[in-house]
């Protein structure tokens, strides 16, 4: 198949199979093949049997000479092709080109040779008659060069952006490495200081323990000496008592009188016994040592508080994207807690307020008076951040509550924010306010944010509400008991949704 290397227009598509030139007044036979009118008539005249007409291409025989009428559409294609810029019809049969059979028009099955700038679509020559009539059509090679030039013009900008991003990435990698090195060095030094601190504390406690034990032994030694002397005196009293009893039992007068003076002396000697109790060290009074140790503990407690202050400051300065990366959660709604006017989506993310009851079964966890629903998850430790899309609701309440908050009846114990077991951010009549234990605080929230963020820090006892990346309010409470994210939707047809991270 011959074609132009510049245009890709195939000669076979528009040339007569007899004269091998562009059609001149083309006609189409009943078999579907086309020829120049002059060429087909000359072909039939050259036949020996003048009454027999056949197709020079497929050799189909026509018993009756077909009525040759001009193929207007094909003639127009020839004329339009001649007018297409860059198409040299004189060289269409002479210049070999690329194989365009690989890319054909899906409508006509012809090779793609042209490009319509109006519709920005590839086309074949048959497409010139039809929806592309009067459109700006150019050969594919021309638009290829044009578009290639557009892309080439983008290369320097793309290369510059690539270099900039590579430089930024390199810088970030360096900062990561520097941060790792710096952090490791700091951690190592802290470990050394911790060991030194341990040694200091151990030495301090050992010294205090050594002093206590030494004083304890000294007192035991002195007490032991006193006990020995008391035992000695007690033995002397036992002997004197025995002598006295013996003298009283002696009935012979002379013998009694002879021993009387010795007995009196012994009695006088024991009558002069005095208490041997000595002044003792106050070994059992350890208040001074304990006070010193308490001061050491208090010093470390204050030290830890001072260490934690910068960490808390950094937490408050984190933007919402960082909070998502570090602590992001996507809670799922608990259908068993949903009020019957709250419809839960299949993915358990969206709560929609309906005008009629939904066919939920009875359940002890279900709210039976207020249009509220809780999440399936509960949190009692760590940090957790989630966001809620409220763009489709004008009257809602979002917060957290203890699982023990009431579910049945119309009292405050069942309403988010009206009891000590729940904390809530609410919107009503374009006003925003917080509510806890039935205390309200009006919040200045400019505009109408479409998403609100919530950060729960269980250990710090803080529940922070964000709007448009700003901290709106911080609730403080005991969040070490399990709490659940909660949603209330009050406007019929309104819905809110937990955002997916």
- pLDDT digit string (tens) for 193-242? 888 878 877 887 888 788 778 878 888 888 888 888 888 888 888 887 88
Residue 37's nearest CA partner among 20, 23, 57, 55 is 23
pLDDT band at residue 275 under the 50/70/90 scheme:
low
Residue ranges covered by each domain of the chain: 11-97, 143-271, 320-498
CA 434, 478, 454, 375: dihedral to nearest 10 degrees? -100
pLDDT in tens, 15-70: 787 877 888 899 988 888 888 999 888 888 876 665 678 888 777 888 888 888 88
The pLDDT value given to residue 252: 75
Q: Which residue has the higher pLDDT, 77 or 455?
A: 455
- CATH number corresponding to 11-97: 3.30.40.10
| Summary mean pLDDT of the chain | 82
For the record, the structure tokens of 221 come out as 């030694």
DSSP-H helix ranges across 29-117: 37-45, 72-83
For the record, the structure tokens of 169 come out as 């990435």
The pLDDT value given to residue 244: 78
Q: Is the model's pLDDT at 314 over the cut of 90?
A: no
Q: Is the model's pLDDT at 317 over the cut of 70?
A: no
Q: Is the pTM of this model over 0.75?
A: no
According to DSSP, residue 480 is labeled S
Distance (Å, whole) CA 320 – CA 455: 10
In 100-224 the beta strands, taken as DSSP E runs, fall at 114-116, 121-123, 137-139
Average pLDDT over residues 377-392: 96
Distance (Å, whole) CA 118 – CA 283: 105
pLDDT in tens, 115-168: 999 889 998 877 776 778 788 888 888 888 889 888 888 889 888 888 888 898
pLDDT in tens, 59-99: 788 888 888 888 888 888 887 777 665 555 544 453 344 44
Q: Which residue has the higher pLDDT, 260 or 39?
A: 39
CATH class of 320-498: mainly beta
According to DSSP, residue 75 is labeled H
Pairing type for strands 383-389 and 495-498 reads antiparallel
Least confident interval from 155-159, 332-336, 367-371, 452-456: 155-159
The pLDDT value given to residue 100: 38
According to DSSP, residue 132 is labeled T
Least confident interval from 232-241, 315-324, 428-437: 315-324
pLDDT band at residue 496 under the 50/70/90 scheme:
very high
pLDDT band at residue 483 under the 50/70/90 scheme:
very high
Most confident of 146-155, 263-272, 459-468: 459-468
Q: Is 228 exposed, middle or buried (0-12, 13-18, 19+ CB in 10 A)?
A: exposed
- pLDDT above 90 covers what percent of the chain? 33
């Amino acid at each position: 198949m011959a074609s132009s290397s510049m245009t890709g227009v195939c000669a076979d598509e528009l040339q007569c199979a007899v004269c091998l030139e562009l059609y001149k007044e083309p006609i189409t036979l009943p078999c579907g093949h086309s020829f120049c009118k002059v060429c087909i008539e000359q072909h039939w005249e050259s036949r020996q049997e003048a009454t027999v007409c056949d197709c020079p291409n497929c050799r189909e025989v026509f018993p009756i000479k077909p009525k040759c009428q001009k193929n207007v559409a094909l003639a127009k294609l020839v004329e339009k092709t001649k007018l297409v810029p860059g198409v040299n019809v004189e060289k269409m049969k002479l210049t070999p080109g690329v194989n365009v059979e690989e890319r054909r028009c899906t409508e006509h099955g012809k090779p793609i040779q042209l490009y319509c700038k109006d519709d920005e679509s590839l086309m074949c020559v048959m497409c010139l008659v039809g929806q592309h009539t009067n459109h700006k059509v150019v050969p594919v090679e021309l638009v290829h060069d044009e578009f290639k030039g557009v892309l080439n013009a983008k290369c320097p900008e793309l290369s510059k952006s690539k270099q900039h991003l590579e430089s930024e990435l390199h810088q970030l990698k360096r900062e990561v490495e520097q941060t790792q090195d710096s952090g490791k060095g700091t951690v190592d030094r802290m470990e050394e200081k911790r060991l030194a601190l341990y040694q200091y504390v151990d030495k301090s406690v050992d010294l205090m323990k050594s002093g206590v034990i030494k004083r304890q032994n000294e007192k035991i030694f002195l007490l032991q000496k006193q006990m020995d002397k008391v035992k000695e005196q007690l033995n002397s009293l036992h002997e004197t008592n025995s002598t006295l009893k013996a003298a009283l039992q002696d009935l012979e007068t002379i013998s009694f009188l002879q021993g009387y003076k010795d007995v009196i002396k012994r009695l006088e000697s024991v009558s002069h016994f005095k208490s041997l109790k000595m002044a003792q060290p106050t070994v059992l009074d350890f208040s001074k040592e304990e006070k010193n140790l308490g001061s050491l503990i208090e010093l470390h407690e204050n030290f830890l508080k001072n260490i934690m202050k910068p960490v808390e400051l950094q937490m408050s300065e984190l933007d919402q994207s960082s909070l998502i990366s570090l602590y992001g959660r996507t809670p799922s709604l608990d259908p068993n807690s949903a009020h019957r006017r709250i419809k839960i989506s299949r993915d358990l993310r969206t709560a929609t307020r309906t005008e009629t009851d939904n066919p939920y079964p009875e359940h002890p966890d279900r709210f039976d008076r207020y249009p509220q629903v809780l999440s399936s998850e509960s949190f009692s430790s760590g940090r957790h951040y989630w966001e809620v899309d409220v763009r489709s609701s004008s009257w809602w309440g979002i917060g957290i509550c203890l699982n023990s908050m009431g579910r049945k009846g119309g009292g405050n114990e069942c309403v988010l924010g009206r009891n000590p077991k729940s904390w809530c951010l609410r919107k009503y009549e374009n006003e925003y306010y917080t509510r806890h234990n039935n205390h309200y605080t009006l919040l200045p929230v400019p505009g109408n944010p479409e998403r609100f963020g919530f950060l729960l820090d269980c250990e710090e006892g803080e529940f922070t509400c964000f709007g448009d990346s700003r901290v709106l309010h911080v609730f403080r409470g005991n969040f070490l008991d399990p709490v659940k994210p909660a949603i209330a939707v009050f406007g019929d047809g309104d819905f809110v949704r937990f955002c997916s991270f």
